[in-house]
Amino acid sequence: MSTTTSTINKGPALKLPEKNYLNQTYGIRSWLLTTDHKRIALLYLVSVTFFFFVGGFFAMMIRLHLLTPSGYLLSADTYNRMFTMHGVAMIFFFLIPSIPAILGNFLIPLMIGAKDLAFPKINLLSWYIYIVGGAFTLYSMVTGGLDTGWTFYTPLSTVYSNSAVAPAVVGIFITGFSSILTGLNFLVTVHTMRAPGMTWFRLPLFVWAHYATSVVMILGTPVVAITLALAAMERLFGLGFFNPAMGGDPILFQHLFWFYSHPAVYIMILPAMGVISELIPTFARKKLFGYHFVAAASLAIAVIGFLVWTHHMFLTGQSTYAAIAFSFLTFLVAIPSAVKTFNWTATLFGGSISFDTPMLYAFGFLGLFLIGGLTGLFLGCLGVDMHVHDTYFVVAHFHYIMVGGAVMGYLGGLHFWWPKITGRMYPEWLARIAALVLFVGFNLTFFPQFLLGYLGMPRRYHVYPPEFQVYNVMSTAGASILAIGYLLPMIYLTWAAFYGKVAGNNPWPATGLEWTTASPPPTENFEVTPVVTWDAYDFHNRPDLGLDIPGATPGVVVPAHGHD
Amino acid sequence: MQSPLPFFPEEASSFAGNVDALFLFILSTCLFFAVLVTLLAIYAAFKYRRTSPGEVGSAVEGNTLLEIGWTVIPLFIAMGMFAWGAVVYTNFRTAPKDTLDIYVVGKQWMWKLQQPNGKREINELHIPVNRNIKLIMGSEDVIHNFYVPAFRAKMDVVPGRYNTLWFRPTKLGKYHFFCSQYCGTNHAVMGGWVTVMDPAEYAAWLSDEAGDVNPTSAGEKLFTQLACNTCHLGNGTGRAPSLNGVYGAKVLLADGTTVIADDAYIRESILQPKAKIVAGYQPVMPTFQGLVSEEQILNLTAYIKSLQTQPVPAKGAGIAPPTAGKK
Amino acid sequence: MHRTGALYGQFNTLEQQKDTASLGMWIFLVTEVMFFGGIMLAYTINRHTYFHAFAMGSNTLSLKLGGFNTVVLLASSFTMAMGVWSAQTGKQKLLTLFLTLTIALGFVFFGVKYIEYAQKFHHHLVPGRNFDITYCINNPSKCEDMDAAELDIERKEIDEAQAADPDLNAHAQLYYSAYFGMTGLHALHMVIGAGLLFWLLRNAFAGIYTPVWNTPVDIVGLYWHFVDIVWIFLFPLLYLIDRHK
């Protein structure tokens, strides 16, 4: 395998910039009361990672327990709490915030040439709201747990469940406002804070992706907020909107819930797609093929994504015509994602491709999102969903997208921007191995679940018929490998933040504005407000990067990885 | 019944073939595109790998024709998948006129099914082959879902409304059915077996009342069939008292009194479970009034009597301690 | 990020700052539309399903008090708009006057709301605790604020509604859940608005707002108008539709 990476020339060892956002001020108060978007991103990094571990713990319990058909490890009630809390922790406290609140917060002002987001104090408030919501939900987890499924279907959640539903629902309600305020901040920032020359169509696609995500956040999240508020009132005060015994309608709850929760999955995947749209051009050293189409596709996904929610309800006994209409729309929403996938692949042709870790994650995303997205077609197709609805087929589908897609994008982005965030480079070979381990472990965990689903194994089962055991054992084996794939980056990224090789401004090199400033950046991001005169990923018009184009500044680029 | 690494359940209904065919169509189309994109990506990764440190890719920006092409073609294919799926589904949602109707009630955590002549089953469904069967389903509590993988058919069972599910079984045999909408603690054990029979056998079964000759083994079968064993765990860890050693013993009740667990007590516990609650337990046992015949009660009693000799667990048997309890 | 005079550090010009604040408030109001929209949708669907019970519920609301509150809020929007104009034209005294009037009208609204809520408690019309839509007609002495004529009309309506809907009480309880949910949420937003107005008033007295910089008045004005618009939707939905049919 070629060892050619982004190394241009070897130079003297680099030094971190004297004053940067990390050491500008010291002390716990300067962090907890910061309004610097970069520090807030790191606050989110710590808390989101914590919830990733919480959700991961529950996942481990699930897979361990499912090794045998008759449930040797946990009681039924405990298992039901495991999968519910796994879903709640991962969806609301990891997947939805992860890329936007960490990478989005850190990078958007840098990418558009601004000093900060539009509303820095609201940004800090968002984090505190997240913490308070998380505290309520953790309280629920430790005082009785939650066993309703993350979907809280009524009347199970409002009347019959004996678990700590109310604090969890309140916690998620509160955290929703963190999401809303983040989305609001991003939308306004992109509209009003772009540097001179940074026109809409020169924006990096990461920014377009977050713009589309923010539209979904602000339109969808308030609906789940009111839905959860009504459900909490029903549970606490006995109101009857969703309770048939009082004339209410459990299906109304499902409509209101899914009206947000389907667009929510686009909140989770669009930012990851934005990361991939940065990684592929950078590591192929080529403009993204079809920039305008990819930007439009992000918006199309956000808009059409609001029109498909009833595909979660094809088998509730609703009108056949409604089901047909929503199936049609569901197939429509697949098209922009397909367009993006084709554009990413086309970017590779004619490129100059290197296989640094972020690019490995991008390739992994391509493959896994392909499978995850295509399996969505099976589920959107009425004639197949009638068989696989609520089976492990669904579980496999959404894990391919959420883990194979969103988490790959998240890790790829973390690696790519780690030198910008910390000023130091992660260990490349260990990182490549971890990426491979993750890819293998992931597929072993979740591919058998497609087979389980088509065979008829329903989801949320603490025991199962013995004929399903082989695939379950495969899945658990894969999960243990996957766990290693996650632990490795946690360890070496933390190590690298303190002891990694100093990276310099632009180790790759990449074309974004964020790479023109120091690593780590100063608190005000740019010494001088940049004036933009080039398109996104326009390697041919960037002589300052020191690559092989006419008029390039020689000897500019510093080594990305010191191993050559 | 199945190979070690199976992929498909049996095809046992008129829907199954259509669903599988549609599935294979979508699968092959998706496989084609997935393999195509993967091979293209791998090919490009090799062909265009970086050869010198400063190398830059070409200045290509895009190709509108290509964009239109790979938008429209997938759109057509998607519409094909949608249309075929809609046809299969519409057939599935439109029950024919000449159905044999079965009434189904789902409740936490069991299924009660009633045949047209009134005969009732619990967690079992006997139906004749090659007849159109329609299930009319309601729920007593939360949302459940009746799912027969071999028929490729399922439907939610929603409280406050009736949902119907129809199918036409085409193969004799016994097929698993499951609850497929999470409904609480014992969601995973809320299933049973659909038995598809020869029409003549079905008719005979429908009018047949007698079960096994041996009351104790008949009672044991019933004990499982009626899901008594899901709460009355032998080791005392269930939500109901263990029945080991209880026949003939003194039982301590919640109100402090004791009672001998004789035949009358057992019969009352089955038909009016809330009349006497064992100390330390919740009054959650459902009544089986109307669901068991006198003969079946006798069989159950015989079985419970046979548990006299089983080891009594240290906790959870409800049997009164040897000295009279304090008030 | 530091503030130099009126300009916050992340901005380059005052105009940019103003545009940003405005856009931020508009987008926030969009989220509020989605928030109220959810519960209004639930209400509308239930209204359609339980027509009789909901019409009965509407009939138990006082058109006089509701109508009066509507006028009060419209007036407060007017005074708010006048306040914004005063800030933009540098008329500090008028600004404080209009802000005070807006707050006062807001409190009038609260007062009327309190009377309405108290009446509901008194008449056993609060969901969950002893809800009984027939309470007043069965216990006329307990509902002194209703005269005989009103009670007769109500008795007739309840009888008709009961005939059409045997579960009238349960469904009427749904109406009242929505009533308290929607008006309670609206009142909460008004309380927040009143708090913001007090803050504006304090700053107005200190002479902080000038024609060059008066963004907070502007955006609180937007918020106040929105809260008013929510009421303009609530009033017909809860009080007016199918009234005394």
Q: Sort B264 into a burial class: Cβ within 10 Å, 0-12 / 13-18 / 19+.
A: exposed
Closest-CA residue of chain B to A297? B71
Q: Chain A within 8 Å of C192 (Cβ-Cβ)?
A: no
Contact A233 C177 (CB under 8 A): yes
- Do C23 and A188 count as a contact with CB atoms less than 8 A apart? yes
Contact B82 A156 (CB under 8 A): no
Q: Which residue of A has its CA nearest to C35?
A: A222
Nearest CA in chain C to A196: C12
CB nearest C128 (choices: A223, A225, A238): A238
| SS3 label, residue B319 | strand
* C-beta atoms of B61 and A287 within 8 A: yes
**C2 lies in a domain?**
no
The domains of chain B are located at 100-207, 215-309
Task: Tell me, yes or no, whether C82 lies in a domain.
Answer: yes
**Whether B and A touch (3+ CB pairs < 8 Å), yes or no:** yes
Question: Is a pLDDT exceeding 60 seen at residue A11?
Answer: no
For residue A65, being part of any structural domain is answered with yes
**What's the structural domain count of chain C?**
1
Q: Is the pLDDT of residue A424 over 80?
A: yes
Counting as contact any 3 or more CB pairs under 8 A, the partners of C are: A
Q: What is the pLDDT of residue B264?
A: 86
Residues of B in contact with A78 (CB under 8 A): none
pLDDT tens for B67-84 read 999 999 999 999 999 999
Condensed to tens digits (0 to 9), the pLDDT of residues A231-265 reads: 998 998 877 889 888 888 999 999 999 999 999 99
Q: Which candidate from B142, B185, B188 shows the least CB-CB separation from A155?
A: B142
Position A550 in a domain: no
Residue A4 within any structural domain of the chain:
no
Cβ contacts (< 8 Å) between A225 and chain C: which residues?
35, 38
Chain A residue nearest residue B20, CA to CA? A384
How many Å lie between the alpha carbon of A143 and the closest alpha carbon of chain C?
26
Q: What are the residues whose beta carbons fall under 8 Å from the beta carbon of B292, sequence distance 6 or more?
A: B222, B226, B270, B300
Q: Is the distance from CB of A245 to CB of C170 less than 8 angstroms? A: no
Is the pLDDT reported for residue A321 higher than 90? yes
What pLDDT shows up at residue B325? 38
Cβ neighbours of residue B182 under 8 Å, at least 6 residues apart? A80, A149, A153, A156, A390, A459, A460
Q: Smallest CA–CA separation between A269 and chain B, in Å?
A: 19
What is the per-residue pLDDT for A560?
52
Name which of A361-370, A416-425, B295-304 the model is least confident about: B295-304
Question: Considering only CA atoms, which of A100, A225, A240 is closest in space to residue A170?
Answer: A225
Within-domain flag for A1: no
Instruction: Please report, for residues A445, B314, B325, C130, the alpha-carbon distance to residue B252 in angstroms, rounded to integers and kept in the order given.
Output: 50, 15, 8, 38
Residue C16 near chain A (CB below 8 Å): yes
Touching A: C residues 49-68, CB under 8 Å: 49-50
Percent of chain A with pLDDT over 90: 88
pLDDT-derived band at B132, boundaries 50, 70, 90: very high
Q: What is the mean pLDDT of residues A476-496?
A: 96
Q: How far is it, in rounded angstroms, from Cα A193 to Cα A185?
A: 11
Residue numbers in A near C41 (CB within 8 A): 256
Residue B30 has pLDDT above 60, yes or no: yes
CB contact B38 to A (< 8 Å):
yes
pLDDT at C55 over 80: yes
Amino acid found at B307: L
Q: B5 falls in which pLDDT band (50, 70, 90)?
A: low
Query: What range does the domain containing C111 cover?
Result: 16-240
In a domain, A245, yes or no: yes
- C58 part of a folded domain: yes
Q: Is the dihedral of CA C200, C204, C206, C212 positive or negative?
A: positive
Contact between B194 and B175 (Cβ < 8 Å): yes
**Are the beta carbons of C1 and A115 separated by less than 8 Å?**
yes
pLDDT of B235: 84
- State how far residue C128 is from chain A, nearest Cα, in angstroms: 6
Q: Do B48 and A348 touch (CB under 8 A)?
A: yes
- pLDDT (tens digit, 9 = 90+) per residue, B172-203? 999 999 999 999 999 999 999 999 999 999 99
A188/C24 Cβ within 8 A: yes
**Cα–Cα nearest to A61, from A503, A491, A462, A549:** A462
Q: Which of B43, B187, B190 to mutate to test the interface with A (most CBs of A within 10 A)?
A: B187
Cβ separation B84–A284 shorter than 8 A: no
Q: Which chain C residues in 154-173 lie under 8 Å from chain A, judged by CB atoms?
A: 167, 170-171, 173
Indicate whether C245 belongs to any domain: no
Identify the CA nearest to A58 among candidates A27, A80, A34. Answer: A80
Contact between residue B302 and residue B267 where contact means Cβ atoms under 8 Å apart? no
B117 touches chain A (CB under 8 A): no
- Domain membership flag for residue A558: no
Tell me the residue type at A226: I
**Close Cβ partners of A218 (under 8 Å, ≥ 6 residues apart):** A180, A183, A184, A187, C27, C30, C31, C34
Token pair listed for A131: 């913490």
Contacts of B93 in chain A (CB under 8 A): 320, 323
Outline where C139-207 has alpha helix (H). 148-164, 168-205
Nearest alpha carbon to residue A505 among A428, A417, A420:
A420
Which secondary structure element, helix H or strand E, spans residue B165, and what is its range? strand B163-167
Q: Please report, for residues C209, C210, C212, C227, the alpha-carbon distance to residue C87 in angstroms, rounded to integers and kept in the order given.
A: 6, 6, 9, 21
Tokens for B9? 């359940």
Domain hosting A406: range is 28-545
Which residues does residue B138 pair with via DSSP β-bridges, in sequence order? B105
- Residue C125 included in any domain: yes
Hunting for tokens 């987008």 — which residue is that?
Answer: C27
Q: Across all residues in chain A, what is the average pLDDT? A: 93
- Amino acid C1: pLDDT: 55
Assess if residue A3 is contained within a domain.
no
User: Do residue C35 and residue A226 have CB atoms under 8 angstroms apart?
Assistant: yes
Closest among A6, A9, A1, A13 to A501, alpha carbons compared:
A13
Optimal mutation site among C11, C15, C35, C222, interface A, most CBs of chain A within 10 A? C35
Give a yes or no: residue C30 inside a domain: yes
Give the pLDDT band of residue A556 (cuts 50, 70, 90): low
Report CB contact under 8 Å: A467, B154: no
Q: CA nearest B54 in A: which residue?
A: A547
Stretch among A414-423, A505-514, B239-248, C222-231 having the lowest mean pLDDT: B239-248
- What would the pLDDT profile of B88-126 be if each residue is shown by its tens digit? 999 999 999 999 999 999 998 899 998 888 888 999 999
Asked if A116 and C173 come within 8 Å (Cβ–Cβ), the reply is no
Query: Which chains, if any, share at least 3 CB pairs under 8 A with chain B?
Result: A
Sign of torsion, CA C129 C130 C132 C135? negative
**CA angle in degrees (0–180, nearest 5) for A200-A203-A206:** 130
pLDDT for residue A10 is more than 60: no
Q: How far is B282 from chain A (nearest CA, A)?
A: 14
Physical contact, A and C (3 or more Cβ pairs within 8 A):
yes
Structurally, chain A folds into a number of domains equal to 1
Q: CB distance B18–A383 less than 8 Å?
A: yes
- The CATH class for the domain spanning B100-207 reads mainly beta
| Residue A507: CATH number of its domain | 1.20.210.10
Q: What is the pLDDT of residues A117-169, one digit of tens each?
A: 999 999 999 999 999 999 999 999 999 899 999 999 999 999 999 999 999 99
- Listed by number, the residues of chain B in 203-232 with a beta carbon closer than 8 Å to a beta carbon of chain A are none
Q: Do C24 and A223 touch (CB under 8 A)?
A: no
User: With contacts defined as CB-CB under 8 Å, which chain B residues touch A248?
Assistant: 160
Residues forming a β-bridge with B139: B106
Nearest to A247 among C27, C41, C167 (CB): C167
CA distance A138 to A171: 8
Whole-number pLDDT of residue B316: 76
Q: What is the pLDDT of residue B293?
A: 82
Least confident of A94-108, B145-159, C146-160: C146-160
pLDDT of residue B209: 61
CATH class of B215-309: mainly alpha
Chain B hits for A5, CB-CB cut-off 8 Å, are 50, 53
DSSP state of C61: S
How sure is the predictor about B213, in pLDDT bands with cuts at 50, 70 and 90? Answer: low
- Considering only residues A170 and B207, tell me which one the structure prediction assigns the higher pLDDT: A170
Is residue A261 in some structural domain?
Answer: yes
Distances (CA, A) of B41 to A275, A408, A501: 18, 17, 32
C9: which chain A residues are within 8 Å (Cβ-Cβ)?
A: 115-116, 524
Do the Cβ atoms of A188 and C127 come within 8 Å?
no
Q: Which of C10, C38, C128 is nearest residue A120 as measured by Cβ atoms?
A: C10
Tell me if C142 is assigned to some domain: yes
Look at residue C8 in the predicted model and tell me its pLDDT: 84
